């Protein structure tokens, strides 16, 4: 967006508000950095979409290369000519001081496959390929960046969790349920916009194309999966609370680790209401208000990006 466009649309899009309920307890500085990272993600998603629409394959490939590079050296890319690259560098620099280098390395390791997944989606759209339901679910868990949003629970809690807690089956199941909920609910709310824009990547579209469902049947199935995510989380929540109780009496850092698990679980639960509220309030999904439903009004790009 140009500064003037941002001034007109940013508040209505509510990008930075999305994370406010998911990272309660973070310092103001960290929360601002995560919120800006969330807004960056939406801007990157829109760049991806417009590069597909305008067939800018070479520019997209260069962008992917630059994003891979910035993950390894954010300080060296803070002044990059592409504002999308420099903005990511800025977000990373601001988020990384809150936990040790081991956390930053893990976050980086989780981020590289996200860029590659966006690239696979780019190729699918360029070749009019609709992934199967199974292929789409695997791809969506990457393009939605499940692992990144889960990783960011730890700096919010002020503690890097040991693998024994972070990798616990109940902790993982609860965390992934929140992210799948967000991804499928997003698909549900963005389906009209994406059908209008000729999009190919949406759980509903994969169900229609590969499972021979009508639009109404596909919407009902996505609804069912959204509800199943909530049920999975609620059924798993007691096991995560028990995990925190066990952590509290184990090792010299037990109490601190238990508090961090509790913080993570508390904010996982908040993700449901945050995601629901965001999709009802953000102008990004109110397609009936757009003159051209294939292009959001805040996107001003006729193919001339440098």
Distance spanning both ends of the chain, measured CA to CA: 14
Q: Rounded to whole angstroms, what are the CA distances from 204 to 48, 195, 199, 263, 283?
A: 20, 10, 11, 33, 21
The Cα 154–Cα 29 span in angstroms is 15
Report the 10 Å Cβ neighbour count for 259: 16
The Cα 257–Cα 89 span in angstroms is 30
The Cα 106–Cα 221 span in angstroms is 34
The Cα 190–Cα 175 span in angstroms is 23
C-alpha dihedral, 49 to 54 to 59 to 64, nearest 10°: 20
* Phi and psi angles of residue 95, each rounded to the nearest 5 degrees, phi first: -90, -30
Could you tell me if 139 and 201 are in contact, meaning their C-beta atoms sit under 8 angstroms apart? yes
The Cα 79–Cα 77 span in angstroms is 5
Could you tell me if 67 and 83 are in contact, meaning their C-beta atoms sit under 8 angstroms apart? no
What sign has the CA pseudo-torsion 174, 179, 182, 187?
Answer: negative
Q: Which are the catalytic amino acids? A: 41-42, 144, 284
């Amino acid at each position: 967006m140009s500064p003037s466009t941002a001034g007109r649309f940013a508040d209505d899009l509510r990008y930075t508000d999305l994370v406010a309920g998911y990272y309660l307890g973070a310092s103001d500085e960290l929360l601002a950095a995560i919120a800006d990272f969330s807004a960056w993600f939406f801007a990157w998603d829109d760049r991806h979409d417009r590069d597909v629409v305008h067939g800018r394959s070479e520019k997209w490939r260069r962008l992917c290369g630059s994003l891979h590079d910035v993950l390894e050296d954010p300080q060296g890319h803070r002044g990059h000519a592409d504002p999308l690259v420099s903005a990511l560098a800025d977000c990373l620099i601001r988020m990384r001081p809150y936990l040790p280098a081991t956390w930053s390395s893990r976050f980086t390791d989780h981020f590289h496959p996200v860029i590659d997944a966006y690239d696979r989606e780019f190729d699918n759209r360029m070749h009019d390929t609709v992934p199967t339901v199974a292929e789409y679910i695997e791809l969506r868990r990457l393009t939605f960046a499940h692992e990144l949003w889960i990783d960011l629970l730890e700096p919010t809690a002020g503690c890097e969790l040991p693998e024994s807690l972070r990798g616990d089956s109940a902790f993982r199941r609860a965390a992934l349920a929140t992210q799948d909920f967000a991804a499928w609910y997003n698909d549900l709310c963005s389906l009209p916009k994406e059908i209008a824009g000729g999009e190919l990547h949406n759980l509903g579209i994969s169900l229609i194309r590969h499972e021979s469902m009508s639009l109404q049947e596909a919407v009902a199935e996505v609804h069912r999966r959204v509800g199943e995510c909530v049920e999975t989380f609620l059924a798993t929540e007691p096991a995560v609370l028990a995990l925190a109780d066990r952590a509290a009496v184990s090792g010299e850092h037990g109490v601190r680790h238990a508090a961090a698990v509790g913080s993570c679980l508390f904010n996982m639960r908040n993700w449901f209401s945050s995601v629901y509220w965001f999709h009802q309030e953000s102008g990004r999904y109110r397609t009936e208000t757009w003159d051209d439903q294939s292009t959001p009004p805040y996107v001003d790009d006729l193919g001339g990006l440098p």
